Amino acid sequence: MPIYEYRCQKCGELFTRVQHIDEHQRARPQCPKCRSRKVEQVFGPFFAKTSKKS
């Protein structure tokens, strides 16, 4: 399951949430600190590891 990172626009809290893709598309999570739903997704670095050697 993907891990999504969010920042609350009300209090500034940064938090992560493990969600199914369907759940992520349906609704924004609630901030664990102030319970606001005004959160934005924060995009971080992405790493992919493959077994193919170059």
Q: Are strands 3-8 and 14-18 parallel, antiparallel or unpaired?
A: antiparallel
From CA 27, how far away is CA 44, in angstroms rounded? 20
Q: Rounded mean pLDDT of 11-17?
A: 95
Q: Are 17 and 28 in contact (CB under 8 A)?
A: no
In the chain, the domains with their CATH numbers are 3-42 (2.20.28)
**Other beta carbons within 10 Å of 44:** 9
Contact 3, 16 (CB under 8 A): yes
- Tell me what the mean pLDDT of segment 12-41 comes to: 92
Mean pLDDT confidence for 5-26: 92
Task: Record the pTM.
Answer: 0.73
Predicted local distance difference test score (pLDDT) of residue 8: 97
In this predicted structure, what is the pLDDT of residue 44? Answer: 74
